[in-house]
Chain A
Amino acid sequence: GAGVSQSPRYKVAKRGQDVALRCDPISGHVSLFWYQQALGQGPEFLTYFQNEAQLDKSGLPSDRFFAERPEGSVSTLKIQRTQQEDSAVYLCASSPSGGVFIGYTFGSGTRLTVV
């Protein structure tokens, strides 16, 4: 597609509910990233995929967070048993290569509110 597409744009979840956030990167982009942006903060790294391989998941805050990219294109970030502290904008980005030099293309984000 023309850009990185994320869905849904907004999600309200009750505490304890499971959620799944979808990211559709630019076609052909090898690298895919997830970031979490809490209110008033900058984006914080969650995880990185190169094709279908998850090469870095060091930023995932707990084992309730799980990400996958099974066919090396679309990715899903799943959060189990959501907590209020999970409320944030979740940004997906993709890049033709693994390095940051050429920059990422970011999606519009999914705003998750846990009530």
Chain B
Amino acid sequence: AQRVTQPEKLLSVFKGAPVELKCNYSYSGSPELFWYVQYSRQRLQLLLRHISRESIKGFTADLNKGETSFHLKKPFAQEEDSAMYYCALSGGTSGTYKYIFGTGTRLKVLA
């Protein structure tokens, strides 16, 4: 079965410290991987997608097919990065129009 695993419910780091939010997946087919973010009292929104190889707000994520991982990284955390982060998978047998989300990781950046 296709699945996304985010092992950490909560991650606390100090401002300026590096951040890595873990995401592992299982799939059948060729997956597309995404990170979504939800800031306090805001809607869920797309942060980045692996196929674009983009860096958004200083965040990057590399797809590692060997380890089936798509960890989200930022070298220096900012207080405004505090939010709920969801890793999501699409494609393969799940279809290219819908996501399978992980359970999310709450990132708290401490001053």
Contacts and interface: CB of A to CB of B under 8 A. Distances in A.
Nearest to A99: B96
Interface stretch (B40-48, B62-70, B75-83): B40-48
A43 B101 contact: yes
Given A91-B44, A101-B32, A108-B43, A45 B51 contact: no
B44 A98 contact: no
Interface of B: 4, 9, 32, 34, 43-46, 49, 51, 86, 88, 90, 95-104
B6 to A, nearest CB: 8
Contact of B99 (A4, A45, A98): A45
A56 B93 CA distance: 13
Contacts of A109: 43
A25 interface: no
Contact of A33 (B9, B88, B98): B98
A103 B100 contact: no
Given A42-B4, A43-B86, A91-B44, 6 more contacts: A31-B97, A100-B98, A100-B99, A103-B34, A103-B49, A106-B43
Contact of B96 (A59, A100, A108): A100
Contact of B101 (A42, A48, A101, A103): A42
B44 A100 contact: no
Contacts of A45: 98-100
A32 to B, nearest CB: 11
Nearest to A3: B43
12 contacts: A3-B43, A45-B99, A56-B98, A91-B44, A98-B97, A100-B96, A101-B49, A101-B51, A103-B46, A103-B49, A106-B43, A108-B43
Contact of A48 (B34, B44, B49, B98): B98
A18 interface: no
A100 B86 contact: no
Interface string A88-107: 00010000001111011111
